[in-house]
């Protein structure tokens, strides 16, 4: 009864490849080979996938999804922007401070030993918080509903040896790996950016659970993810609000240009050619737009 | 027996609705037991949200955090604040043994209008309240099953 079915969808040749379990697809048959496209960020993807040692990552069956009223590149920029953290998310840091008595700090004054942002080929970028985040993320675990009370014996609580390492991995690797154009790996989630129109975007956050661990470990990961993510979280809605506001501002016809030069004078070029700068600088965003312009230009 | 509890239960739900719409957060918190749960599953069919992803899954300390954040002046989705007005109906006390004189499970439907920045949104769904007699009647669990909880949503950082 094939005549009852809806018409065959318009045929589009799709190119599909995968790396470490992540499946990438493109409607452009001329797209470069996946590992050529990802080239510089391959080690960062590896590090993300291996953040819980030998335990394989498993995507949770549900996702948090939000919609914002602005261009898809707002979320792309945001994922590797360190500057907005202490302003946009100060309400989260306030909550953590109130609960733990400790002031969460991401932005050190000096450049030395501070967290970095890095811009790679093909518009990829990384925000690397490893040098500053361990204590901050530990404090964030203390406000997770149903987390082991501070000071408890973690081996006993979770019923396994060396539970602390596994427990601390609940916050994920302290870095965001932004894969051009619409994927981010950060915290313990996969962030997909879906443009719906030029000024409307859907963002999907899928938390990652671990294989071969007690349920209590994955329960903490779910509760940790819920603190920030989703339309009622303590983090993501405030980003959405900022995207909406920026979208409104960009719709203004009065001003044609915006400036994106923050940190331009102090970014450095590494031996392999990628750019590195202080976490508060716009180095990744310049890289993203440089690549975007290249793709959107006709010779 | 359960039907005779409806007037008392209705009074509690109405009080809660007004506390929320008045943004009397402290008064709202006092309605809940110390070991309470306030949650909204992503998957509307989930019975137990412990091992599933939720839109929120708050114990009492996290409800306190939520309110502290809303009151901080830097939860930007609520600057300016959302005004809300909710109605509920079809209040029914569960008859399946989940309810006795001391513990009551109550289902209802709700509809909430949220107003912010010149725009009204309508959100609707179902409530499940578990109530206990502890001094007065208090809420030990409030489950919010929002229509479309598993679809993309605009921010909804006000309280349900």
- pLDDT tens digits for A113-140? 678 999 999 999 999 988 777 666 778 8
Is a pLDDT exceeding 60 seen at residue A240? yes
Which positions 208-267 of A are in contact with B (Cβ < 8 Å)? 215, 218-219, 222-223, 225-227, 230-234, 236-238, 240-242
Token pair of B132 as six digits: 């206990």
Q: Note the pLDDT tens digit of each residue in A216-225.
A: 999 999 999 9
pLDDT at B159: 98
Q: What is the mean pLDDT of residues A228-249?
A: 97
Q: What is the mean pLDDT of residues A187-212?
A: 97
CA distance A36 to A164: 37
pLDDT at B112: 98
Is a pLDDT exceeding 80 seen at residue A8? no
Token pair of B141 as six digits: 């669990």
A to B CB pairs, distance under 8 Å:
111
Record: contact A232-B150, CB cut-off 8 A? no
Pairing of the two strands B136-146 and B32-41: parallel
User: Cα separations (Å) of A123 from A49, A181, A290, A293, A297?
Assistant: 21, 7, 7, 10, 15
Q: How many CA atoms lie within 13 A of B84 on its CB side?
A: 25
pLDDT at A3: 45
Is a pLDDT exceeding 80 seen at residue B2? no
CA distance A215 to B48: 14
Is a pLDDT exceeding 80 seen at residue A108? no
ipTM: 0.95
pLDDT at A224: 96
Token pair of A231 as six digits: 């339309």
* Rounded to 5°, angle at Cα B56 from B51 and B60: 95
pLDDT at A1: 43
Q: Looking at the DSSP assignment, which residues form a beta bridge with residue B84?
A: B114
pLDDT at B72: 95
Non-local (6+) Cβ contacts of B26 within 8 A are: B67
Closest CB to A94: pick one of B51, B57, B72: B72
Record: contact A219-B61, CB cut-off 8 A? no
CB A225 within 8 A of CB A210: no
pLDDT at A298: 80
**Partners of residue B76 in chain A, C-beta under 8 Å:** 88, 238, 241-242
Closest CB to B62: pick one of A94, A145, A238: A145
Please state which of the ranges A75-79, A156-160, B98-102, B155-159 shows the lowest mean pLDDT. B98-102
Percent pLDDT > 70 in chain B is 95
Token pair of A284 as six digits: 């990744």
* Rounded to 5°, angle at Cα A81 from A235 and A239: 30
- The DSSP annotation for A74-102 comes to HHHHHTT--TTHHHHTHHHHHHHHHHHS-
Q: Note the pLDDT tens digit of each residue in B61-119.
A: 999 999 999 999 999 999 999 999 999 999 999 876 666 668 899 999 999 999 999 99
CA distance A181 to A191: 12
Percent pLDDT > 90 in chain A is 78
Record: contact B53-A90, CB cut-off 8 A? no
Which positions 112-131 of B are in contact with A (Cβ < 8 Å)? none
User: Is the Cβ of A150 closer than 8 Å to some Cβ of chain B?
Assistant: no
Cβ neighbour number for residue B144 with a 10 Å cutoff: 22
pLDDT at A9: 59
Token pair of A288 as six digits: 């993203």
Residue B103 or B51, more confident: B51
Chain B residue nearest residue A217, CA to CA: B51
b vs e for A15-50, b when ≥16 Cβ sit within 10 Å of the residue's Cβ? Answer: eeeebeebeeeeeeeeeeebeebbebbeebbebbbe
CA distance A146 to A131: 28
Closest CB to B53: pick one of A60, A92, A240: A60
Q: Note the pLDDT tens digit of each residue in A35-88.
A: 999 999 999 999 999 999 999 999 999 999 999 999 999 999 999 999 999 899
- H or E element that contains A276: strand A275-278
User: Is the Cβ of B43 closer than 8 Å to some Cβ of chain A?
Assistant: yes
CA distance A273 to B101: 73
How close does chain A come to B129, measured CA to CA in Å? Answer: 20
Q: What is the mean pLDDT of residues A4-29?
A: 81
User: Is the Cβ of A66 closer than 8 Å to some Cβ of chain B?
Assistant: yes
* Rounded to 5°, angle at Cα B25 from B19 and B27: 60
Residue B17 or A108, more confident: B17
């Amino acid at each position: 009864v094939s005549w009852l079915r809806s018409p065959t969808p318009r045929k589009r040749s799709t190119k599909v490849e995968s790396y470490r379990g992540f499946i990438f697809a493109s409607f452009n048959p001329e797209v470069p080979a996946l590992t050529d496209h990802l080239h510089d960020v391959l080690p960062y993807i590896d590090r993300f996938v291996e953040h819980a040692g030998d335990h394989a990552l498993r995507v949770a069956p549900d996702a948090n999804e939000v919609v914002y009223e602005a261009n898809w590149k707002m979320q792309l920029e945001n994922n590797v922007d360190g500057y907005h953290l202490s302003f946009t998310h100060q309400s989260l840091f306030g909550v953590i401070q109130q609960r733990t008595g400790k002031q969460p700090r991401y932005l050190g004054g000096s450049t030395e030993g501070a967290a970095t942002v890095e811009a790679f080929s093909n518009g990829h970028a990384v925000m690397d918080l490893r040098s500053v985040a361990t204590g901050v993320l530990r404090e964030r675990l203390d406000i997770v509903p149903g987390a082991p009370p501070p000071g408890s014996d973690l081996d006993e609580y979770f019923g396994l040896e060396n539970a602390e390492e596994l427990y601390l991995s609940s916050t994920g690797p302290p870095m965001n790996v932004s894969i051009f154009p619409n994927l981010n790996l950060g915290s313990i989630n996969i962030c997909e950016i879906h443009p719906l129109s030029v000024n409307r975007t859907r963002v999907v956050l899928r938390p990652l659970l671990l294989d071969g661990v007690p349920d209590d470990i994955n329960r903490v990961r779910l509760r940790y993810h819920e603190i920030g993510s989703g339309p009622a979280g303590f983090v993501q809605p405030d980003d959405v609000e900022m995207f909406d506001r920026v979208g409104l501002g960009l719709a203004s016809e009065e001003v044609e240009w915006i400036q994106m030069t923050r940190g331009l004078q102090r970014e450095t070029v590494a031996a392999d050619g990628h750019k590195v700068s202080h976490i508060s600088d716009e180095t990744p965003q310049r890289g993203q737009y440089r690549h975007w312009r290249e793709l959107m230009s006709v010779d | 027996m359960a039907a005779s509890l409806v007037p008392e239960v209705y009074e509690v739900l109405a009080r809660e609705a007004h506390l929320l719409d008045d943004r009397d957060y402290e008064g709202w918190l006092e309605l809940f037991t110390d070991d309470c749960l306030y949650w909204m599953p992503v998957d509307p069919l989930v019975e137990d949200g412990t091992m599933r992803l939720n839109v929120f899954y708050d114990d009492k300390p996290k409800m306190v955090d939520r309110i502290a954040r809303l009151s901080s002046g830097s939860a930007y989705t609520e600057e300016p604040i959302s005004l809300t007005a909710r109605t509920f109906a079809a209040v029914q006390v569960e008859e399946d043994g989940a309810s006795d004189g001391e513990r009551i499970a109550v289902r209802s439907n709700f509809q909430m209008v949220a107003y912010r920045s010149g725009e009204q949104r309508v959100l609707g769904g179902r409530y499940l309240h578990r109530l206990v007699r502890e001094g007065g009647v208090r809420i030990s669990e409030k489950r919010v099953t929002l229509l479309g909880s598993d679809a993309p949503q605009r921010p909804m950082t006000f309280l349900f």
